[in-house]
């Protein structure tokens, strides 16, 4: 038993995390189970069983997101998670010991799972949950989600659907209820809802030392050109990077947002990708 513990200790000490992730993937890739636990940063969470957690535990789900949380969560700062789903990024954040984690999840069925996963692990000391939908206006009720089980539960393409009703908030109004000086991470993954965050991005840009992990879903945008141009204007207030922390120019970004080729979804084409935005202490031009 002591020998096994020593082997594990030195394995974790000398084998880089990225290599360990690849090893786990090679060992377990042919097995898919409905896992009832999740592991992040060697912290174990009890979760409602789902096959997704098997992928999560192999560290093959969004490895760049794992790296982002590892690099940016600070013990004296808060995390905002917009689009919490059933809790994977909440658990990533919690495992790195921030002060508070504020999580928004719009879909009520996902929210109930998220809430139960939070309660199962006694995370209420840090985690504050909200069942609300990011939109262009606050305090409205929208019908939300498709009956078709193949549609994404949190897609704003589902606003106007007939499955559930959800109250709305703008990103700006939600953040104004928080102490922005204590926040250093905002994750936004709302399946097309990024078309509604113009004023929210403008508001966030007034604060220093905040990093945003922003997921882009161009097939879900109502007006691709309009949304792309709006985001480009807001990005001028940030240093913009790919999720691999590589610089990206305005022209490159516009090309990705207007691309019609790689992904086809519900008769729409476009791209899914993620960006890291970092607020600037001094406002300047794009990429300065």
DSSP 80: E
In this prediction, residue 286 has a pLDDT band, given cuts at 50, 70 and 90, of very low
In this prediction, residue 270 has a pLDDT band, given cuts at 50, 70 and 90, of confident
Q: Would you state the torsion angle of the CA atoms of residues 151, 156, 162, 168, taken in this order, to the nearest 10 degrees?
A: 140
State percent of the chain over pLDDT 90: 70
What separation in angstroms does the CA of 251 have from each of 25, 54, 155, 218? 36, 38, 27, 16
d(CA 52, CA 25): 14
Terminal-to-terminal C-alpha distance of the chain:
55
In this prediction, residue 181 has a pLDDT band, given cuts at 50, 70 and 90, of very high
In the predicted structure, residue 267 carries a pLDDT above the cut 80:
no
Where do runs of H (alpha helix) occur along 224-282? 224-235, 250-258
Instruction: Please report how many Cα atoms fall inside a 13 Å half-sphere around the Cα of residue 85, on the Cβ side.
Output: 18
CATH of 62-279, one of 3.40.50.620, 3.40.50.300, 3.40.50.150, 3.30.70.20: 3.40.50.150
Which regions of the chain carry the CATH code 3.40.50.150? 62-279
Rg (CA), the chain: 19
Q: Structure pTM?
A: 0.83
d(CA 268, CA 32): 31
Average model confidence (pLDDT) across the chain: 86
């Amino acid at each position: 038993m002591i020998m096994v513990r020593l082997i594990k200790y030195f394995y974790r000490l000398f084998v880089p995390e990225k290599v360990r992730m690849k090893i786990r993937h090679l060992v377990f890739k042919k097995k898919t189970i409905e896992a009832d636990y999740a592991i992040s940063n060697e912290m174990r969470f009890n979760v409602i069983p789902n096959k997704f957690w098997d992928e999560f535990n192999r560290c093959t789900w969004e490895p760049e997101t794992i790296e982002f949380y590892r690099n940016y969560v600070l013990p004296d700062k808060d995390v905002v998670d917009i689009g919490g789903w059933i809790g994977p990024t909440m658990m990533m954040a919690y495992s790195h010991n921030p002060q508070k984690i504020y999580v928004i999840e719009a879909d009520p069925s996902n929210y109930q799972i998220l809430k139960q996963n939070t309660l199962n692990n006694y995370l209420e000391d840090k985690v504050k949950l909200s069942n609300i939908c990011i939109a262009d206006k606050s305090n409205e009720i929208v019908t939300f989600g498709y009956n078709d089980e193949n549609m994404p539960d949190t897609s704003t393409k589902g606003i106007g659907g007939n499955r559930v009703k959800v109250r709305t908030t703008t990103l700006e109004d939600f953040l104004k209820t928080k102490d922005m000086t204590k926040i250093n991470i905002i994750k936004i993954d709302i399946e097309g809802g990024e078309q509604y965050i113009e004023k929210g991005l403008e508001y966030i840009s007034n604060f220093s030392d905040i990093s945003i992990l922003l997921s882009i879903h161009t097939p879900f945008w109502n007006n691709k050109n309009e949304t792309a141009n709006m985001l480009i204007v807001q990005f001028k207030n940030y240093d913009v990077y790919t999720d691999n922390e590589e610089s990206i120019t305005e022209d490159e970004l516009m090309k990705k947002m207007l691309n019609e080729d790689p992904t086809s979804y519900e008769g729409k084409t476009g791209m899914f990708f993620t960006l890291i935005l970092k607020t600037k202490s001094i406002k300047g031009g794009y990429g300065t």
